[in-house]
Amino acid sequence: MIKLRNKIAPSLLSSDFANIESEVKKCENAGCDLLHIDIMDGHFVPNITIGPLVVSAIRPHTKLQLDCHLMISDPDKYVPEFVKAGADMISIHVEATHHLHRSIQLIKSFGVKAGIALNPITPLEYAINAAEYCDFIMLMAVNPGFGGQNFITSFLNRAKTLRNYLDNNGLDNVEIEVDGGVKLDNVLEIANAGANILVSGSGLFSGNFEDNVRNMKEILK
Ligand code: DX5
Ligand code: ZN
């Protein structure tokens, strides 16, 4: 069984959008592993953020992989735009598409990493059934739409169950991503539950960013 490497993924949602270039460089210089970008449409979630134009504006300023989290209805329609904008990883919500297998195949057809995201109480069966087609599975630990919400602790059992399933079924290379409420004081418990891609927005961007990243790396060692 392979042990997947822990990856720190700052969520740009909590960064300073007026200085996005320097925020992106800050993430790279601090030694983060990828950039998590939250795409919200005001329909699937009650908030609107950014679209492919901003992703393509970020692309030339970093070598880090861009992890685009699509919190949008009818994601298939926009996947090609995000690929063109420079996404390396794209996740879609299982609640937002009627034909999950088709949506995953669509993402893969462009040669980018395909992920699915599940809201906190969406049955884990979706992930279990889709796992063999996915590069990563994101379990939300908050209701999607906003940064700075409290971690929903039922995530921990869900991650353990999913990690066990993956490891016992020849899918140990499928990564588990956690999104929402990840902070210095709970990140170890979250990683021990089986998540290895650790998204954190307010947890990293509040206070001193570099110190927070350094401390998170230290905790995860
Ligand atoms: C929520 C977003 C998250 C958000 C996490 O809908 O998907 O990526 O930025 O923010 P924190 O880490 O502050 O909960
Ligand atoms: Zn997100």
Tell whether ligand 1 has an atom less than 6 A from the beta carbon of residue 15. no
Dihedral sign of CA atoms 80, 81, 86, 87 in order: negative
- Which H or E run contains 175? strand 175-179
Q: Give residue-wise pLDDT tens across range 12-27.
A: 999 999 999 999 999 9
Indicate which residues carry an active-site annotation: 38, 179
Q: Give residue-wise pLDDT tens across range 129-149.
A: 999 999 999 999 999 999 999
Mean pLDDT within 22-48: 98
Q: For residue 218, give the DSSP letter.
A: H
pLDDT-derived band at 1 (thresholds 50, 70, 90) equals confident
pTM score, two decimals?
Answer: 0.98
Give CA–CA dist 20/150, Å, rounded.
25
Q: Are strands 197-200 and 136-140 parallel, antiparallel or unpaired?
A: unpaired
- Which H or E run contains 66? strand 65-71
Mean pLDDT within 154-172: 98
Task: Choose which residue among 179, 190, 197 to substitute to test ligand 1 binding: the one with the highest number of ligand atoms within 8 A of its C-beta.
Answer: 179
- Looking at residue 2, its pLDDT comes to 82
Strand order from edge to edge, sheet including 175-179: 7-10, 197-200, 175-179, 136-140, 113-118, 89-93, 65-71, 34-40
Atom of ligand 1 nearest to the CA of 143: 6
